[in-house]
Structure 1
Amino acid sequence: MKRVPTLSAATGPDTLHQALGHAISDKRLEVLRRISVSGSISQAAREVGISYKAAWQAIDTLTSLSGTPLVERTVGGSGGGGARITEEGRRLLVLADELAQARDAVLARHAGAGASASTGAGLGVQTSMRNQLPARVSGVQSLAQEDPLVLVRLCLEDGQELTSSITRESADLLGLRVDLPVLLLCKATAVEVADQMPDLSAGQCHLSGKVLRIARGAKRDEVTLALDGGGTWVGFAARPFGCRRGQRAFALMASSALVIALDPHQS
């Protein structure tokens, strides 16, 4: 048997929680689960409804996050080879099931107090990205038949729209579809704030809001915008930034800087 991909011996099973933290809300764990049943990556891809390439991306991501091989593949042979999950792969699936059951139980206990299934959406995401907003998918557009990227149109609660550029495999793994609620993330350092509406170039998008806070810096000012539909968006402007608190300003970022995440109870 050959294990793929090969990882450093310094990693180990104690890092399985990393895979759970990032993969529980999309199809990656389901790919692993299907492999455990069918013994075939191609069969798992067909059952989940994604491409063979996307299935391998799922396994590669889980393996990198967990720090230990989760799938063993047999190369060659009369049957063309197969795949099976490792002991750590089985352990990961058990942990995922127990975490899902525990979360369901917590939400059920609080349902009588007015909590909904969406309560706590995004709380499981630990990231350095300060910009996090709920949104809904309003469209998924392929750039071209053979292009590996797709454009995902996203609508915020105040009606503003953004476009995120992601790989086709990622869109398949996330199961993106129209009206799907998602969590939109962006690094503050990827956001440029301006006091005038900028001319957008290809691959750029923008948000507008009122200046909530300005933190003066030596070379740039950090600006927090309060969006009309609630929530904030943080970016940076050349010093000195000309707007005052309460004035409207604009945040500019590349579509490739916008990250899409799912809440497992919203998919």
Structure 2
Amino acid sequence: MDGNGDRVEAIVALRGAGRSAVGRERIRLLEQVIRLGSITKAAQEVGISYKGAWEALNAVNNLLPRPAVAAQAGGRRGGGAVVTEDGLALIAAFHQMEAQLERVAALFSAGGTTLDAPELLRRLGMRTTARNAFRCRVEEIRLGGVNAEIGLRLTDQATLTALITVESLRDLGIGLGQDVTALVTSSFVVLAEGGAEPQATARNRLAGIVSRRTDGPVSSELCLDIGGGKTIAATVTRDSAQSLRLNPGDSAWALFKASHVILAID
């Protein structure tokens, strides 16, 4: 707002159905990657940590059909990063929508509505607390008496299964071929060493390579590159992480139940 508190600033966020927003901060980060060719340098430019930048860009990649940012190997500092055609299209779409929203914001500032504009804009920017948000396509629906199993295409090689009630299926209007966002809390993800597929009751089993491990006093967070530009995060106890002996570069499995997948639609 301006000094009189009368002007409403337009704030736009592109998001999947799970409300994991791609807002101005993440778009600015993408633009700095274009300019500098490095996630480390881009993070410094926008004033965030490398870890924060890495997580933000992975969140963007997980919500798009194809990655917005791709790593480049080589170089004295381990290579750089490049924004893909999909990333460039995302940036362009964001700025187009931001310009349109500025016009809408002007109406609020002119007093043409009784809506609480700042509160409305804050609500539009709400984000999910689920660590993992994946854009998927519905490939199969299996109806039961109470529950429905939803088969989801995550990448060319990977699928997910979600278990929801038939009532929820109908309320959301989910159908074959529809795009949805699958949300999985990181604490629901169980890790197993790589190799042969684990014999487990969990319906969802994603093979990947550990791309990052962050240890805290009590818990550890590990991120797995599962291919197709997608990553999944798991939060486990520090003791569990040490007993698994999983470090960046190691192969691993991410396991979670179908009932732990939450679906959201546009």
TM-score normalised to the size of structure 1?
0.49
Structure 2 length as normaliser, TM-score? Answer: 0.49
